[in-house]
Amino acid sequence: MTPDASILVLNCGSSSVKFAVYEVGAIEASDPSAAQPVQAALRGQISGLPASARLDWHPSEAVPVREALSGVSDHASALAWLFDRLDHSPRYRAVGAVGHRVVHGGERFAEPVVVDEAILAALEAQVPLAPLHQPHNLAGIRAGCQALGSRAGDVKQVACFDTAFHTTQPALHTTFALPLSMRERGVRRYGFHGLSYQSIAERLRAIAGERAEGRVIVAHLGNGASVCGLRARRSHRTSMGMTALDGLVMGSRPGSLDIGVALFALSTLAMSVEQLSHLLYNESGLLGLSGISNDVRTLLGSIDPRAALALEIFCERAAQEIAATAVALGGCDMLVFTAGIGENSPAIREAIVRRLAFMGAALDASANSAGGPLLSTPQSAIEVRAIPTDEESVIARSTLAAVRAAS
């Protein structure tokens, strides 16, 4: 791939396709361990799938565009539309490879991989482990193959896994207290949001100096939420398990739950497996608690006491997971907030750090309101920071490396 080619990054979710375009030359000229990630030439998303698709896009030096899309009703048509639009833009025509976020790599995939039919089949087999995300990720890969496969130069599709960053966890933190017969079948803790943790871990030394090499806890608080304990910037313990249901309370997932609740739902309430799955992935968490919304902004703006209780439970559980991760690390030198809620909500950060005062954590109120980047007082035993994550630039860089290694 020549420096004027570009890499398209796709993150296909249930109702949206997020995308970013990177110039190969810009990736080559950048340092992955710099404080700032490499900038995308273009970012955007197609949201509102399937019923009311609309496009938001942000070229780096032009006015953002928002438009309704007619004739776009699923991932395949959304991607066909996107490739067509890129094809008609002189600037982005030379897409040389497509990098995809794929949630579950299972035990087999610990590195980004160029996708072929056999690999696609292996990824298909992981769908039961990530039913909310994986089918959409794979739909993106298939649509990419369909739209670009016939091109001269053979545009490669690369899968980058959210589980891969966590392969450094010791068995102590990946093993469930279950009989060997279950553990032999790949039933273990994997962990997710790895592309986000990688983005923070790579840049942390440049941002925070020597302390970055110590005991660091990153709280990725978005619609999905987890925490990850880093030692020497490698994953040591994370709150999500075999699936993305475990750990913190999330937008519409409950996080850690007494497994007896699932047995009760299946036996006494006679729920089907599909109904239970829908309950756990789509109807629980902040949405189920509040009965109002899965969106933290909406809940912060509500005067309904159910919204306040939902947010209190969210913060209490986040603080508990951070404390549990500190046990695994033998202490905590730094706490980093990232993703939509972590980067943008002073109120949620305050409510979590207040609960960690017993560990010596103290926020500077005005730095927290201003968004940091350093949020803690000079006396705080734990340095607290807010750092924007950038999963797309991690995928772009990994995609370029995987394509070069394969050719």
If one asks whether residue 247 binds ligand ADP (CB under 6 A), the answer comes out as no
Contact 139, 123 (CB under 8 A): no
Contact 109, 402 (CB under 8 A): no
Contact 169, 236 (CB under 8 A): yes
Least distance from C-beta 191 to ligand ADP, angstroms? 16
If one asks whether residue 344 binds ligand ADP (CB under 6 A), the answer comes out as yes
Indicate which residue of 162, 246, 333, 390 is catalytic. 162
333 is written with which tokens?
A: 């030198």
If one asks whether residue 196 binds ligand ADP (CB under 6 A), the answer comes out as no
If one asks whether residue 341 binds ligand ADP (CB under 6 A), the answer comes out as yes
- Sole residue written with tokens 């987890």: 226
Q: Has 74 been annotated as catalytic?
A: no
If one asks whether residue 340 binds ligand ADP (CB under 6 A), the answer comes out as yes
Beta carbon nearer to ligand ADP, 296 or 315: 296
If one asks whether residue 130 binds ligand ADP (CB under 6 A), the answer comes out as no
Strand-pair partners of 6: 23, 95
Beta carbon nearer to ligand ADP, 383 or 391: 391
Question: Per-residue DSSP letters for 256-285?
Answer: S--HHHHHHHHHTS---HHHHHHHHHHSSH
Burial of 111 (0-12, 13-18, 19+ CB in 10 A): middle
Q: How many residues bind ligand ADP (CB under 6 A)?
A: 13
Classify 335 as helix, strand or coil.
strand
Distance of CA 350 to the CA centre of its chain: 23
Report the largest interatomic distance among the alpha carbons of the chain, rounded to a whole angstrom. 61
Of 81-89, 112-120, 154-162, 340-348: span binding ligand ADP (CB under 6 A): 340-348
Binding flags for ligand ADP, 294-333, as an x/- string (CB under 6 A): -xxx--x---------------------------------
If one asks whether residue 91 binds ligand ADP (CB under 6 A), the answer comes out as no
If one asks whether residue 339 binds ligand ADP (CB under 6 A), the answer comes out as yes
Least distance from C-beta 211 to ligand ADP, angstroms? 25
Burial of 156 (0-12, 13-18, 19+ CB in 10 A): buried
Residues making contact with ligand ADP (CB under 6 A): 222-224, 251, 295-297, 300, 339-341, 344-345
Q: Which residues are catalytic?
A: 162
